[in-house]
Amino acid sequence: MKISRVFVSGAAGVIGSQMVPLLAARGITVLAADLKPRPAHFPPEVQYRQGDLNHMDAAELAAFAPDCFIHLAATFERSTESYGFWEENFRHNLALSHHLMTLAKDLPSLRRVVFASSYLIYDPALYQFDRAQQQPVSLKESDPILPRNLTGMAKLAHEVELRFLDGFRHDGFSSVCARIFRGYGPGSRDIISRWVRSLLKGEAITIFRPEGWFDYVYAKDTAEGLIRLAEAGSLTGIVNLGTGQARRVGEVVAVLKRHFPAMRAEEAPSDIEFEASQADISRFRAAIGWQPAYDLEKAIPEIIAHERARLTTPEAKPAPGHLLVTSASRKIPLLRAATIAERKLSPEMQVLAGDIDPDAPAQYAADGFWVMPRTDDTALDALIAGCKERGIGFVLPTRDGELGFWARHKARFASEGIAVLVSPEESVTRCLDKLVFARFGQERGLPFIPAYEGLEDASTSRYRGPYAVKERFGAGSRAIGLNLDAASAREHAKGLTAPIFQPFIEGTEISVDAWLDQDHRLKGLVLRRRDRVVDGESQVTTTFRDAAIEEAARTALEALALSGPVVMQILIDTAGQPHIIECNSRFGGASTAGIAAGLDSLYWSLAEAAGNDVATLPFARISGEVRQVRLPADTHFILPAK
């Protein structure tokens, strides 16, 4: 079976880091994904997605259109699982496997699924003993099963899920579950790598049960074996993947001794049972015509070289700081979208809501809450200190009135290790001033609605009404007068602080959610109709496509030299022509609809600020459309009894 587009979960792990270059060398297009940063040795043509795959959505995977899914992502603990592993196993083993197959199972492109399962599924009574064994037990795929821990249980659960799907989707794709035996490899948490790290530091190693037998299978062999299983489309169900030749723990120690003659090894008493297992790889070998090539003698020198190089490699960057959403007020959908975005980047990150109101409802929808000082220049040092005290690494301003402050001091915050997700000051100022904004567009021949300080200025353009009258600064919908004759326009203007006059154009107002990188290049945009507007924000909004309007918006947005998430308002006249009203250089009140349509603007902003190459993160615009309806919902908190 020829595979050409492969999605690999857990791609930065021990097996995945070996597999991805092998796939690329075969000329296969790869989407590699992991919680960890992109490995430096991955070929540049590999697409990489960093973040928690529990937050991957269907549109993102559909846009890549894989014909093969190799599922490696998993979490585990060695030997004895801790009490705290209960939740971790559920989220990153059970829930993740189910979620990813939910996304993949109905993809028209999918032809093959390879799942990295485990020999921990077999009944341990078959291969664990209360005394040392002279020979290992060869485990066959047909042997009894009884997972010996939570990890084995999770692996078995997904095997059953794949068997279930085979009953419905066997004409679409085939699946195979490789029960991998005792894996080890460069950079792993396995006992061989841990021993090598200790020996390189001159530390003694502790040995438990040197008489135990394990089928040690090297990560390079596992990666190659899984790829060959992907290509063997007719092989389905369960198959063992190991060397078929168990080695004693004492033999591992003997190989290490050859490389570390001064090694100090201490055998410690243990109450764990003696293991004596190896894989029966008859089925694998018959179907694939290949078997693992590495033994301990060949693999351990590679592990030593890898670990020695790591000792001179600079330490990895610390986890990114937390995200502060300012002027959070009642922006609960924004906070929830921000939480999804930051956990794609790092599960350690938190979203903090900030507001000057100590009773702001946002505090109940965030990981933390900060009653902030007002954003004026006199509070700059206090704001920086407050951010550093709370471990904040990113700031997302959300209110027009504060954008100028954050843009003005963006460089100062950056010098303190805090990235402010806001456009340059000049661009922000241009968008906040509707008169300057309109003149900017007119001077460049863009379809901006003209604006004038007085009716006298408007009359010089030979325009005689009707007019729209609004405030030059602030929210565009506040105190706006529409379809006014000259006398009514003058009268309406008396009630405004800094009025401007614009031609009134009959038509339908739409919003454009967009995201631009730090070089002001548009990555993507989503058009949406404002079906029902309450207090200036869309209570009901529906996305749509129109190539001409999208191109006009693209040209205008890039000319404005914006960056990050923005929202533009456009009036479409009765002839279908666009007239740009204004642009807010921030995330919009209903811009979560754009995220649902594939415009992952908050995640892109965080990823770019963290130093990731956002060009490798695709804009996966869904093929259908999104209708977003804002409805109130109650949230309940159970308080302790007094």
The model's pLDDT over 298-354, given as tens digits with 9 standing for 90+, comes to 999 999 999 999 888 766 566 689 999 999 999 999 999 999 898 888 878 999 999
**Helix residue ranges per DSSP H, 346-446:** 380-389, 400-408, 410-415, 425-432, 434-443
Q: Is residue 496 part of a domain?
A: no
Alpha-carbon span 198 to 205, nearest angstrom: 7
User: Is residue 280 located within the same domain as residue 413?
Assistant: no
pLDDT tier for residue 529 given thresholds of 50, 70 and 90: very high
The enclosing domain of 365 has a CATH number of: 3.40.50.20
Q: What mean pLDDT comes out for the span 421-442?
A: 97
Which residue would you say has higher pLDDT here, 277 or 618?
277
Q: Measuring CA to CA, which residue among 230, 157, 151 is closest to residue 183?
A: 151
Q: What is the pLDDT of residue 624?
A: 86
Dihedrals φ, ψ of 563, to 5°? -150, 155
Amino acid at 341: A
User: Is residue 281 located within the same domain as residue 350?
Assistant: no
pLDDT, tens digit, 9 for 90 and up, residues 196-216: 999 999 999 999 999 999 999
Task: Please name every residue paired with 179 in a beta bridge, in sequence order, or none if there are none.
Answer: 117, 240
For residue 423, with 0-12 CB atoms within 10 Å meaning exposed, 13-18 middle and 19 or more buried, which class applies? buried
| Full domain range(s) for residue 144 | 5-182+219-243+273-290
Q: What mean pLDDT comes out for the span 435-450?
A: 96
| HEC secondary structure over 417-465 | CCEECCCCHHHHHHHHCHHHHHHHHHHCCCCECCCECCHHHHHHCCCCC
Q: What is the pLDDT of residue 50?
A: 81
Give me the sheet containing 467-471, strands edge to edge: 481-484, 467-471, 499-503
State how far Cα 450 lies from the chain centre.
41
User: Is residue 23 located within the same domain as residue 134?
Assistant: yes
Stretch (H or E) spanning 21: helix 16-25
pLDDT tier for residue 476 given thresholds of 50, 70 and 90: low
Dihedral sign, Cα of residue 591, residue 595, residue 597, residue 600: positive
Q: Which residue has the tokens 């206090």?
A: 382
pLDDT tier for residue 37 given thresholds of 50, 70 and 90: confident
Number of domains in the chain: 3
Q: What is the pLDDT of residue 638?
A: 87
pLDDT at 17 over 90: yes
Q: What is the pLDDT of residue 81?
A: 86
Dihedral sign, Cα of residue 320, residue 325, residue 330, residue 336: negative
| Domain stops at, among 370, 393, 422 | 422
Q: What mean pLDDT comes out for the span 142-148?
A: 96
**Pair 12, 5: CB distance under 8 Å:** no
pLDDT, tens digit, 9 for 90 and up, residues 112-122: 999 999 999 99
User: Is residue 383 located within the same domain as residue 282?
Assistant: no
CA-based angle 440:445:446, to the nearest 5?
70
The enclosing domain of 607 has a CATH number of: 3.30.470.20
User: Is residue 40 located within the same domain as residue 174?
Assistant: yes
State how far Cα 223 lies from the chain centre.
24
pLDDT, tens digit, 9 for 90 and up, residues 499-526: 999 999 999 999 999 999 999 999 999 9
User: Is residue 284 located within the same domain as residue 330?
Assistant: no
Q: What is the pLDDT of residue 535?
A: 80
Q: What is the pLDDT of residue 632?
A: 87
Q: Is residue 214 part of a domain?
A: no
Residue percentage of the chain with pLDDT more than 90: 83
Q: What is the pLDDT of residue 478?
A: 67
Q: What mean pLDDT comes out for the span 271-291?
A: 95
Q: Which two tokens stand for residue 516?
A: 């631009």
Q: What is the pLDDT of residue 59?
A: 82
Q: Which two tokens stand for residue 466?
A: 């009707």
Q: Is residue 308 part of a domain?
A: no
Q: What mean pLDDT comes out for the span 584-596?
A: 95
Q: Measuring CA to CA, which residue among 473, 380, 389 is closest to residue 420?
A: 380
Q: Is residue 497 part of a domain?
A: no
Q: Is residue 164 part of a domain?
A: yes
Q: What mean pLDDT comes out for the span 403-431?
A: 97
Characterize the bridge pairing of strands 578-584 and 564-573. antiparallel
pLDDT tier for residue 469 given thresholds of 50, 70 and 90: very high
User: Is residue 226 located within the same domain as residue 85?
Assistant: yes
Q: Is residue 188 part of a domain?
A: no
Q: Which residue has the tokens 């007085």?
A: 454
pLDDT, tens digit, 9 for 90 and up, residues 607-640: 999 988 888 787 888 888 999 999 988 888 888 8
pLDDT at 561 over 80: yes
Residue percentage of the chain with pLDDT more than 70: 97
pLDDT tier for residue 537 given thresholds of 50, 70 and 90: confident
- Tell me the helices (H) and strands (E) count for the chain, helix number first: 21, 31
User: Is residue 74 located within the same domain as residue 11?
Assistant: yes
User: Is residue 281 located within the same domain as residue 366?
Assistant: no
Q: Comparing 354-368, 391-405, 583-597, 603-617, which segment has the lowest mean pLDDT?
A: 603-617
Q: What is the pLDDT of residue 79?
A: 66
User: Is residue 238 located within the same domain as residue 367?
Assistant: no
Q: What is the pLDDT of residue 32?
A: 96
Alpha-carbon span 431 to 446, nearest angstrom: 15
**Helix residue ranges per DSSP H, 239-329:** 249-259, 282-288, 296-311
Dihedral sign, Cα of residue 368, residue 372, residue 377, residue 382: negative
Q: How many beta carbons lie within 10 A of that of residue 237, not counting itself?
A: 14
Q: What mean pLDDT comes out for the span 351-380?
A: 96
pTM of model > 0.75: yes
Q: What is the pLDDT of residue 459?
A: 66
User: Is residue 517 located within the same domain as residue 386?
Assistant: no
Q: Is residue 469 part of a domain?
A: no
pLDDT tier for residue 58 given thresholds of 50, 70 and 90: confident
User: Is residue 285 located within the same domain as residue 353?
Assistant: no
Q: Is residue 61 part of a domain?
A: yes
Q: What is the pLDDT of residue 315?
A: 61
